[in-house]
Amino acid sequence: MTPKGVTLNTNSHKIKFARRFIRTLLKMRKNAPSSSSIEEIRKRSQRIKIAAYSSMAHAVGSRRAWSRAILFKLRNRARHHGMMRRRSMKKRVIKNDPPGDQSQTNKLRQLVPGGKAMDMCSLLEETAHYISCLSTQVKVMQTIADHLSK
Amino acid sequence: MSSRRSRQSGASRITDDQIIDLVSKLRQLVPEIQNRRSDKVSASKVLQETCNYIRSLHREVDDLSERLSQLLATIDADSAEAAIIRSLISQ
């Protein structure tokens, strides 16, 4: 049951996400060797995870700050693929944060994509939308996994 | 973990209206808060539960990604997409 007023188009996000994500999985299936080592399975699960967040961000599009943040990060990643830039991108300086005393707000900023640059009001809005899309993402992935387990 | 309250950063202070707005939205979304009977939930508690919920969702995505990676070999191109979409729509 999705609450009204929080996300207007949950169903369309859900379907858009599902289509895109499944297509990515099928592409991976084609490129995958028939017998996979544990190492390959682990690497693939990392790519699947990225595909999931990416598909959801694309389904939402540029309407939301959090999805824009993910898309921006993905594009930068693609651009610097192969260079060691990835490491430096992960380390971010959090302003106004005395060590060992992080407020709940700052913790939330770290969890929501793009949260560090938002003002408080936007952060709360984006959080609500992000949570709703995240739980949709989880439900769809669960459905797919269950379907494949049969 | 830290029980220090209302240490706001910079000029952005949470107004009462924003708290009420957030509580009502997150109430419906965060299972932990839904079960609380009291109407007054502190902003700090709401943020804390929200963070916990987001982290648990991220963990679920990790677990499901691993599971899907193992199951990937069994995906059948022809029937998979249609069947999955159908079951998603009917949820």
Host domain of residue B68: 2-89
pLDDT higher than 50, residue B2? no
Look at chain B and report how many structural domains it folds into.
Answer: 1
Domain residue spans of chain A: 10-81+89-148
Average pLDDT, chain A: 81
Q: What is the complex's ipTM, to 2 decimals?
A: 0.78
Considering only CB atoms, which chain A residues are within 8 Å of B62?
Answer: 45, 49
Instruction: Specify the 3-state DSSP secondary structure of A121.
Output: helix
The residues, any chain, with a CB within 8 Å of residue A93's CB and separated by 6 or more, are: none
Cross-chain residue pair B51–A112, CB shorter than 8 Å: no
**Helix spans in A8-94 (H):** 10-31, 38-60, 65-79, 85-90
Cross-chain residue pair A147–B25, CB shorter than 8 Å: no
pTM of the model: 0.75
- Chain B interface disruption, residue of A21, A35, A97, A127, most B CBs within 10 A: A127
- Chain A interface disruption, residue of B42, B54, B69, most A CBs within 10 A: B69
Confidence of residue A6 (pLDDT cuts 50, 70, 90): very low
- Measure B82 CA to nearest chain A CA, in Å: 9
Of A19, A95, A139, the CB nearest to B85: A19
Q: Could you tell me the CATH number of the domain that includes residue B53?
A: 4.10.280
Q: Tell me: the pLDDT tens digits for B45-65? A: 778 888 999 999 999 999 999
On whether the CB atoms of residues A133 and A57 are closer than 8 A, the answer is: no
